[in-house]
Amino acid sequence: MFPPTRIRSCLPVINPLFKQRLRPHRPFRQTSTLHQHQTKNATQIQKTKWMNLRAIITRWVPLGSVIYVGWCYIRASINYEVSKVEIRFYEMFPFRITSRIWGRLAACELPVSLRNLVYGTYVRMFNVNINEAAVPDLTYYKSLSAFFTRPLREGVRYISPAPCVSPCDGVVLNCGPADTDKIEQVKGVTYSLEEFLGENKWSKNKGTSYYDSLLTNKENILHQCIIYLAPGDYHRFHSPCDWTSTFRRHFSGKLLSVNPWMAKLIPGLFTVNERAVYIGEWRHGFFSMTAVGATNVGSIEIYSDPQLQTNTKGKRNRVDEVELGQVNLKKGELFGQFNMGSTIILLFEAPRDFKFEFAAGDRVLVGQALTAASKEQSR
């Protein structure tokens, strides 16, 4: 037993503990406004986080772009005609800035340990036939840009003996005679020939119309072939025939998507996008080959024209013209490359009976003959 004096000495310590334990529970009531101010400040910060200029550019614009492009895809599937207001709204998105950023990111060197993962994912997503590449080892390519512009191994593409062949791998959007100033980019959607090529400064022919001024033989007509290069395609393009390039015109326009379903929605798409037009002559007269830029195309490179600089800062509507002299190009010779998928457009003069071997929607490869008739004549 403890002595009474010892118990009495402990009571001052024990009693407060018992009182605190036996105190009835009371609900918590906020007596200070500090917590309320903190809550209000956090709410205001959260609101400004989503409503400032940086958030609009980095969050709302990409989100709106994805929603709008998806909506356009749905409308294209039901043959819906897009209004001019919607087209103007779509053109307002900063595709040039995002494409420039993408070009820089694609040029960054990747660690060797990540290359198989990154490039392998890309190969599976876009059905890339890596066995056709000159170097099938994925770790060989230092950057995405180097992988996009990979060369093919020798002999993997057969160059037909026909006078004119396909300049690239891709899907044909449209092909056939172009006998008016309005040319079909896809079925039912047209673009202006004069707006696409620009003022005729390379020819001395003065016809009654812009169309006639291009022809060297009035018995011939113009023919066109539009080939779309998907992200998984071989990104280099070649000379389609033996011809001489004398003039180059670079339009620094916009960088809208050139997907087949977008070409169905936007009339004159190829006349507003950035493009490098090369003009000259071939065996039948006028010949032009145009590389059209698109969203996420960091640059268009032409091997024989190192002065060409695409997707640069400055006014969108500026036009640069260069007299090239006499640049002789052989069929199948490397001409240039895209740093992402885009479009090649051939516009050339030929006899009226010039018939294409393939039709819109067909897939073509580099070196494939454009026409069966030309193939038979070359034998």
Which residues fall within 8 angstroms of residue 10, CB to CB, at 6 or more apart? none
DSSP string, 327-374: EEE-TT-EEEEESS--EEEEEEEE-TT---SS-TT-EE-TT-BS-HHH
Question: Tens of pLDDT along 38-50?
Answer: 555 555 555 555 5
Question: If 0-12 CB within 10 Å is exposed, 13-18 middle and 19+ buried, where does residue 102 land?
Answer: buried
**Given a cut of 60, is residue 365 above it in pLDDT?**
yes
Average pLDDT, the chain: 79
Rg (alpha carbons) of the chain, rounded to whole number: 32
What torsion, rounded to 10 degrees, do the Cα atoms 339, 100, 189, 191 define? Answer: -90
Active site residue 32: no
Query: Token pair 């990747």 is at which residue?
Result: 110
169 is catalytic: yes
CB 222 within 8 A of CB 338: no
Q: How confident is the model at residue 363 (pLDDT cuts 50, 70, 90)?
A: very high
Q: How far apart are CA 353 and CA 233, in angstroms?
A: 31
pTM exceeds 0.85 for this model? no
Phi, psi of 30 (to 5 degrees): -75, 120
Strand pairing category for 334-338 and 236-238 = antiparallel
The pLDDT of residue 94 is above 60:
yes
b/e code 68-91 from CB counts within 10 Å (16+ = b): ebeebeebbeeeeebeeebbeebe
Least confident residue range of 118-122, 142-146, 289-293, 314-318: 314-318
- What digits encode the pLDDT tens for the residues 172-214? 988 988 878 888 777 667 788 988 998 888 887 776 788 888 9
Residue 305 φ then ψ, to 5° = -135, 75
Copy the structure tokens of residue 202. 């390379």
Amino acid at 251: F
Q: What is the DSSP letter of 131?
A: G
Q: How confident is the model at residue 374 (pLDDT cuts 50, 70, 90)?
A: very low
Whether residue 55 has pLDDT greater than 80: no
The model's pLDDT over 59-91, given as tens digits with 9 standing for 90+, comes to 666 777 777 677 666 665 655 555 666 667 666
The share of the chain scoring above pLDDT 90, in percent, equals 31
The answer, yes or no, to whether residue 330 has pLDDT greater than 50, is yes
Tokens of 207: 């016809």
Is pLDDT of 369 > 80? yes
List 223, 238, 250, 284, catalytic entry:
238
Cα 105 versus chain centre, distance: 15
Please answer whether residues 248 and 278 qualify as being in contact, where contact means their C-beta atoms are separated by less than 8 angstroms.
yes
pLDDT at 32 exceeding the cut of 70: no
Q: Is 22 helix (H, G, I), strand (E, B) or coil?
A: helix
- CA-based torsion, 161, 166, 170, 176: positive or negative: negative
246-304 tens-digit pLDDT: 999 999 888 877 777 777 777 778 888 889 999 999 999 999 999 998 777 657 889 98
Separation of alpha carbons 98 and 144, rounded Å = 16
Candidates 166, 239, 342, 374; catalytic one:
342
**Can you point out the beta strands (E) in the chain?**
170-178, 182-186, 189-192, 221-228, 236-238, 243-251, 275-282, 285-292, 300-302, 319-329, 334-338, 343-350, 363-364
Is 342 catalytic? The answer is yes
| Dist. CA 179–CA 156, nearest whole Å | 36
Could you report the per-residue pLDDT of 138-170, keeping only the tens digit for each? 999 999 888 988 999 988 999 999 999 999 999
Residues forming beta bridges with residue 334, ordered by sequence position: 238
- Model confidence at 310, in pLDDT bands (50, 70, 90)? confident
What lies within 8 Å, CB to CB, of 226 at 6+ separation is 172, 173, 174, 175, 185, 270, 343, 344, 345, 346
Residues 170 and 291: their CA atoms lie apart, in Å, by 13
Identified catalytic residue from 145, 160, 166, 169:
169
pLDDT of residue 262: 75
Average pLDDT score over residue span 90-96: 72
pLDDT of 375 above 50: no
